[in-house]
Structures are given as C-alpha cells and as structure tokens.
Structure 1
Amino acid sequence: MAQKMNVESFNLDHTKVAAPFVRIADVKHLPKGDTLTKYDVRFCQPNKAHLEMPAVHSVEHSFAECVRNHSDAVIDFGPMGCQTGFYLIMAGEPDVPATCELVEATFNDILELDAVPAANETQCGWGAHHSLEAAQDAVRGMLAHRSEWEQVMA
C-alpha cells in the first residue's frame, strides 16, 4: 500500500469511485468546539471525463451565490483542480442526506438562472470566462443521477 498522504483526496482510490456522488472528504473539530465538514461534490468520473473551465467557473459562481439562499452554514464552495468536481465546506457535523438535499435545491436554482452571478469585470477576476449553458448542462447531468449521489464506490 502507498504511504498515506497529507491531502485526503490523494488517499482516495480514484479508480474505485463511481461519479457522480457527494461524499464526506474531511471533518475538522476546531479548538473552540466548532466543526467543519468538507464534502466532495463529484460531477465527473475521475480520469475519464472533466468539466471544461467555463462550466467550472460558472458552476462555482452560481452555486456559491445560490446555496446561501438555503443555508447559513456554507463556508465555501470551490473547484477541484482536476475539473471533476467541487469541494463544499459547511459548518456543522456531517450529514450527507441533508447536504444532498441542499445541493439538489441549489442545482435547481441554477437551472432557473438567466445569467451567471457576478460574471463581469467588476466582480470577477476573469469575467468573460463563463458559460451559463455549460454550467446548466453540468447541473442537469448531476440531477439526472440524483438517486446515486450517496453511492461513492463502484
């Protein structure tokens, strides 16, 4: 077996997962008693498919804005460098079923958008690098497999 790495996802056997899924990637119990839970919201099968960057960028903007209409526990939502998914960081103990409901509600909000939030030079570092259509296609793909999200391994 390979040596355990410091980064949790480097210890995940990416050949054994079955995307799309939502899984607990990490839980941190902070010194003052708070808990942070990091979820792996995986859109694409690792090493088989990926999201193009305009889709990644637009899902990131749209999700980050829309999810906060549903939960005050959201800390961050950011893309994975491999372009296969995102990390959702939440305050609180792990709850995959509730998080899946939150992700589903947010994805449905994204499908209702007529523009990517903050996709302009004033509010974004690369405001022209967006595609609402690509983001909505990616979200539709995830929602089509909603019943499978809690099954991580093939």
Structure 2
Amino acid sequence: MKRIASFEVNHDLLTPGMYTSRIDGDITTYDVRMVTPNGGVYLEPAASHTFEHLFATYVRNSDFADQIIYAGPMGCQTGFYFLVRDMKPSDAIRLVQETMDFVVDFTGDVPGVSRIECGNYLLHDLEGAKKIARSMQPVLKGWTEADLVYKK
C-alpha cells in the first residue's frame, strides 16, 4: 500500500507552527501544529473539541467562507488540519492568526454544543481552548510563507 504524505514528514523535527502539508490541485492542506509531536504533552480532548467548534465557526464566517473545505483535529492530538481552496498562503496564515485571536477573546456560548448539534456535547472546555489559542499566538506572530515549509 502507498504511504500517505503525512507519514513522510519527520515528526522528530516538527515544532509548533503552520505548515503546508500538501497541495492537491486547488486545495491546500495546512498542518497547524500546536504541540511538539511525541513530546509528552498533547491537546486535551475537551479543549481540542471546543477549539474545533470555534475554529470552524470563525473561518466559515470569514470573508473566505467559500474557500474553506475543512478545519479539524489530528488524531495524534498534536494539532489541526486546515483545508482551503484557491487561497493565497498569506491569507491562510492571516486567517489562522485571526482565529487564534478570536478564540482567546471569545465569550458567551460556544456554537454547536447542544445535544442536537454535537455528537459529544458534554466534552467541551472553553478555557482549555483559549489556552491552546493563547499558546499559538506568539508562535504564529510574524509567520510568513517561507515558514510554511516543513523542516528537513
């Protein structure tokens, strides 16, 4: 069986940041790495779940809403994938930076957390989601297209 692209990345060299995982025609998959892989610290499920609700809501309500394909967590609990269509890398970086600010500043009811709207509606942690976003703000500050390349 052919190995998938994400398994070709040397996870021992990955640090928190935003990277271009793959480009498939007009769709770009970004790896928004939030903790160091295999570092012993992982995204807590409840915090990650709330972060997902806020991330997806924000980007799907942005000026780029029609270009958003998917925003969701990695199974390894070290980050999120962010898939976009026909978006300049600089705009994707800025949108992710803005999303971190949105999550940090968010108040009120988290979107989509009722039993009817969510398949695991009791597993949420807004303060944990804010902690994730807060940790990423300094990482992504000044991030450029040149930084999107995985280290080899």
Q: Tell me if TM exceeds 0.5.
A: yes
- State the Cα deviation string for residues 21-57 of structure 1 (Å, max 9, x = none): 111111112xxxxx11110011000000211100111
Separation in structure 2 between the aligned mates of residue 90 and residue 122 of structure 1, nearest angstrom: 28
Number of aligned residues: 144
Poorly superposed stretches of 4+, deviation over 3 Å: none
Aligned residue for 2:20, secondary structure, equals: strand
Equivalent residue number for residue 116 of structure 2: 122
Is residue 22–residue 42 contact of structure 1 (8 Å, CA) maintained in 2?
Answer: yes
Structure 2: runs of 5+ lacking an equivalent: none
Counterparts in 2 of 1:21 and 1:27: CA distance versus 1, 3 Å: same
Equivalent residue number for residue 102 of structure 2: 109
Matches within 5 A, 1:33-72: 35-48=26-39, 49-70=41-62, 71-72=64-65
Is residue 5–residue 11 contact of structure 1 (8 Å, CA) maintained in 2?
Answer: no
Structure 1: runs of 5+ lacking an equivalent: 30-34
Q: Do structure 1's residue 28 and structure 2's residue 24 form an aligned pair?
A: yes
Identity of aligned residues (%): 33
Is residue 58–residue 131 contact of structure 1 (8 Å, CA) maintained in 2?
Answer: yes
**Structure 1 position 5, deviation (Å):** 4.9
> Greater share of helix residues, 1 or 2?
2
Q: Do structure 1's residue 9 and structure 2's residue 16 form an aligned pair?
A: no
- Counterpart residue type for residue 24 of structure 1: T
Equivalent residue number for residue 84 of structure 2: 90
Separation in structure 1 between the aligned mates of residue 12 and residue 48 of structure 2, nearest angstrom: 22
**Structure 1 position 83, deviation (Å):** 0.4
RMSD between superposed Cα atoms in Å: 1.9
Aligned residue for 1:25, secondary structure, equals: strand
- Counterpart residue type for residue 50 of structure 1: Y
Q: What's the TM-score, normalizing by structure 2?
A: 0.86
- State the Cα deviation string for residues 48-87 of structure 1 (Å, max 9, x = none): 0211100111111110001122212111111100000010
- When structure 1 is superposed on structure 2, of 105-114 and 41-50 the one drifting more is 105-114
Aligned residue for 2:122, secondary structure, equals: coil
Aligned residue for 1:144, secondary structure, equals: helix
